Amino acid sequence: METSEIRRRFLQYFEDRGHTVVPSAPLPSPDPNLLFNVAGMAQFVPYFVGQQTPPYSRATSVQKCVRTLDIEEVGKTTRHGTFFQMNGNFSFGDYFKDKAIEYAWDLVTKPQSEGGYGFDESVLYASVYYEDDEAIELWKRIAGLPDDRIVRLGMKDNFWSMGVPGPCGPCSEILIDRGPEFGADRDWEAGDRYLEFWNLVFMQNIRGEGGGKEGYPILGELPKKNIDTGLGLERVAYLLQGVDNMYEIDEIYPVIERASELSGRKYGVDHVDDVRFRVVADHVRSALMLIGDGVTPGNEQGGYVLRRLLRRAIRSMRLLGYEDPSLVELLPVSLEQMKKSYPELEPDFGRIGQVAYAEEDAFRRTLTAGTSIFDVAVRDTKAADGVELAGAKAFQLHDTYGFPIDLTVEMAAEQGLQVDTAGFKSLMTEQRERAKADARAKKAGHADTSGYRELREKGVTEFTGYQELATDSQVRGVLRQGAIATAAEPGETVEVVLEKTPFYAESGGQIADEGLIVADGVKLQVLDVQRPVKGLIVHRVKVVEGVVQPGLDVHAEVDHEWRVEACQAHSGTHVVHAALRQVLGPNALQSGSYNKPGYLRLDFAWSSSLDQTTRSEIEEVANLAVRKDLPVSAQYMTLPEAREWGALALFGETYDESVRVVEIGGPWSRELCGGTHVKRSSQVGALTLTSESSVGAGVRRLEAFVGMEALRYLGRERALVRLLSENLKARPEELPAKVADLAERLRTAEKELERLRAGQVLAAAAELAASPKDVFGVSYVGHRAPDGVNGGDLRKLALDIRGRMVADKPAVITVLSVNDGKPAVVVALNDTAREWRLKAGDLVRVAAEKVGGRGGGKDDVAQGGGTDPAGADEALAAVEHSIGQLVTG
C-alpha cells in the first residue's frame, strides 16, 4: 500500500466518523521556542492548554514534522529521520478512552478491502500505563486482547506531558511483533522486535513542577478530558510495504535508486555507503518539504538547518564518488513521490528547485574555498611536527565554510592527521549556549495568557477597520503585563481591549495602526496593536490623560494619514509582486514582506541579482498598473476555493478554512491577505524601487517607497543630481561619464602613490641590511616601518633586506608597521638561520602576541597582525629575546 494511500485512508476513516479534516500546519513553528513543528498535536496546543476555544469537538490531520536533534544519526540507524508525517485524531472534551481505542483497533485490523490497514491481530500488542486499569479493561473488551498481550509500562514510557506544568495523561500504544529475527521474546525496550506505531494519549490530568519524564506530581484531573493520538505514517508504510526501514518505503527509496545510478555504487552492499545513501534520500526529501513551506537556506534558525541538510546531502553524494551537481538529479525524483500527498509542491517546484540549486552552487564554491583553508591548516600542522588539526581550525571550517566535522575528520585522515574533536565540540557547545541564551532572551511562547483568555471568553473583538477609521466602543478590559487590572492612570503604558476597534493589528507584514482612544477626560495614545490570542485584538497604549477602566465608553480613531499611507504600502506590495511575476515569471514568488506607511519590502524566490534594465522594467510595469486605476476588491471564500481561483498564499502562514482574497485588476493580482488596502490602484501614488539585494541563497529583496515618500525620495535624488552637476560643472546627462573619468584618474593617482610609497619603504633596505644587530651569532634586523605600510610592502621589504644579508651567517629580519590602527608584522629568515633550527612561524607568533593578535606561515617567511599598536616596539624586542633563548637554550 502506497504511503499516500495510507494517509488518505486515515483521513477518510476519521472524517466518516465526524472528525473535521484539518490541513497540516506549515513546518515552521509559530512557537518561538521551536524551529519546526515536531508533533501531530502541535497546531492544537492552544486548544489543549486552554488558550483558545476549539471550533470543532473532533479533528483529524496528517501533520508535517521535522526533527533536528538526530540529524547526525540519520542513516546510521533505521529509526532516525528528519522529515516525517504524524497522523492523528483528536477529541476536545468529546469522546475519550473507549472510542479512541475502538477507532484505532478498527482501522488497524479492518481488512484492506474494506478501507482498513489489514494488520494481523495475532501479532498486535497493547502497552498501557501500569496504573491505568481502565485502559486494560477496554483493550480486553474492545480488541479481545488477552493479558499476555497487554504490557504495563511506567511513567517514563507511557505517560505524556509537555514537559511543563499543565495537561498530561497516561498513554496506550499499539505494538507489532515483527518476529524473533528482530529481537528477544518479551523484550519491550531493546531491539526492533516489538515496534510501536500508534500512540494514544488520554489527556486527563494536570501535572506540577518537575524535570524529566517521570517523578513530577499529578495535581488533579482536567475539567474536560481530551484525546491526542499519533500514528507514524512512515513506520506504518514500511510495515505494510514489507521493507525493513523507513528509507526503503515508496516515498524515499526512489531517491536512493537514482543516487545509486549516478554514483555507480550499490545500496545494500557496504554499510558506510548505505549510510550515505540514506542521508541523501532523507535530506533531499526534508529539504523539498522545508523549501515548499517557505524556508530558505541561511545562517540562523530554520534556514541554518535547511542549509545543513542540503550540504550533508551534497557532501554524501561526493563521498559516494559523484562530483557533479546532484540536487538537479535527485530533487525531481523526490517530488514525483511526495506530490501524491502534497500536490501543491508541483506548481511550486520551479521556485523550490531554484532555491535548492542555488544553495548547491554556493556550497560547491564554498568547498573550493574551504579546501584551500584546510590545505593551509594541514601544511602548518605538519610543519610544526603536529599530528592533530586544531579544534579551532575545525570549528572555523564548520562555522565559516559549512564543513561538517566528519568531513574535516575524513579529509584529515587522508593526510595522516587526527582532529581535536574535543576542542571542536567545546567551541560548538559555547556557540549553542550563546544561541540558547539569545533564544531565552527572545522567548515569548507559552507565557501566561490567562488574562487574554479571560477577556477572549467574553467574545471576539470586532474589527471595523475595513469599513471605517473611527468607531464608538467600550473598554472590555485593561491589562498590566498580561494580567487583568482594574484601572490605569496617566503616565502608565498598559494594554486595552475594546469591544470593537478600527485599529489594524500587526500581521501579514503590515505593521499596526497608530491613533487615539478618547473619552470624556481620557486620552490614550495607541502605540501598538497585536493579537496574542486568536480572536482578541489588544492595544498597547500610553495613558496621556484621565483614568481608563473596564466599562468606559470610548471613541477609537486611527490616524488618517497613517492608515492612508499604510494602505498605499500594502497595496503597493501586491502590485510589485504581480509586476515581478509578470517580468520574471511565475517562479518569482513572494517569501516574505514588510510594509509601513510609505515603505515596502518584498522578499522573493530568485537565484541571481536583477540588472538595472530588469529593475526598471519591474518598476515600469508596477507604475503602469497604478496608472491604469485598477479596481481593488476583497472577498471571502473557502481555502480550497481560493486556491482553485489561483490566489497566492504567503509561505509559512496558517490560514482558516474561510480566507480573505484581495484582488487588484482581476486575475493580474490575487493574494490571500488580511491587510488594509486602497480602493483603486491609482491611490498607491508614485512607486519607486530603491534597492535590490540578496538575503540568502535563492532569495532576493526589493525595497521601495510609495506615495509621498516616493516623491520625497525622488526629490532628494534630484537635489543630489543638481548638486553634483554644479560641483562637477556638467549637465545631468553628462554625469556618468564625468564620474567615471574622475574615478579612473583617482585610481591612476592611487597606483602612483602606492609605487612611490613602496619605493620609499624599500629604499631603506640597503641601510638596514648593512647594520644588523648581533644576537648570539645571529644577524638580527628589527625595524618599525612608517605607519600606513601595508602587509604586501612589508613582505617585500623583509625579503629585500634578507637578500642583501651575508648568506653564510644566520639572519632574522622582523619588520612591523601600523596601518589604520592595526599592526602588521613580517618575519623572514635565510637558509642558514633555518639550519640553526629557527622558524619564522614561531617568531612571528611571538611578535603578534605582543600586539594582541596571531600569526603563522612557513619556516622561511611568516606574517601576522594584531589590534594593539602600543605593543609594536615590544614586539620587535620580544623577537630578539626569543632568538637569544632559542640559540643559547
Binding residue numbers for Zn(2+): 570, 574, 673, 677
The alpha carbon dihedral of 266, 272, 274, 278 has a sign of negative
- Residue at grid coordinates 535548492: 356
503, with CB counted inside 10 A (0-12, 13-18, 19+), is: buried
Map residue 246 onto helix, strand or coil. helix
Give the separation between CA 491 and CA 497, rounded to whole angstroms: 18
Give the separation between CA 716 and CA 719, rounded to whole angstroms: 5
The Cα-based distances of 278 to 242, 246, 791 in angstroms read 18, 10, 48
Strands 159-161 and 166-177: antiparallel
Give the separation between CA 584 and CA 351, rounded to whole angstroms: 12
Q: Are 24 and 62 in contact (CB under 8 A)?
A: yes
DSSP, residue by residue, 560-615: HHHHHHHHHHHHHHHHHHHHHHHHH-TT--EEEEEEETTEEEEEEE-SSPPPHHHH
The alpha carbon dihedral of 212, 213, 219, 224 has a sign of positive
Strands 822-829 and 811-819: antiparallel
Binding residues: 570, 574, 673, 677
Q: Where are the beta strands (DSSP E) in 468-586?
A: 470-480, 483-485, 493-498, 500-501, 515-519, 522-533, 536-545, 553-558
Cell of 551: 466599562
> What proportions of the chain, in percent to the nearest 5, are helix, strand and coil?
45, 25, 30
Instruction: Choose among 36, 604, 698, 603: nearest CA to 305.
Output: 36
Instruction: Choose among 223, 228, 309, 187: nearest CA to 58.
Output: 228
Q: Are 238 and 194 in contact (CB under 8 A)?
A: no
Give the separation between CA 659 and CA 678, rounded to whole angstroms: 19
Give the separation between CA 537 and CA 486, rounded to whole angstroms: 19
Query: At 452, phi and psi to the nearest 5?
Result: -65, -45
271-292 vs 301-319: helix axis angle to the nearest 10? 140
Instruction: Choose among 609, 607, 593: nearest CA to 297.
Output: 607
Total Cβ atoms within 10 A of residue 670: 19
Q: Which residues make beta-bridge pairs with 65?
A: 84
Residues in contact with 510: Cβ distance below 8 Å, sequence separation at least 6, in sequence order: 504, 566, 569, 570, 595, 596, 675, 676
Cell of 847: 611578535
Give the separation between CA 309 and CA 339, rounded to whole angstroms: 20
Cell of 355: 532555491
Give the separation between CA 872 and CA 367, rounded to whole angstroms: 37
Give the separation between CA 604 and CA 587, rounded to whole angstroms: 9
Q: Which residues make beta-bridge pairs with 700?
A: 604, 694
Query: At 483, phi and psi to the nearest 5?
Result: -105, 145
Residues in contact with 375: Cβ distance below 8 Å, sequence separation at least 6, in sequence order: none
- Residue at grid coordinates 601600523: 818
Instruction: Choose among 474, 469, 485, 455: nearest CA to 519.
Output: 474
Q: Are 475 and 496 in contact (CB under 8 A)?
A: yes
Give the separation between CA 565 and CA 51, rounded to whole angstroms: 34
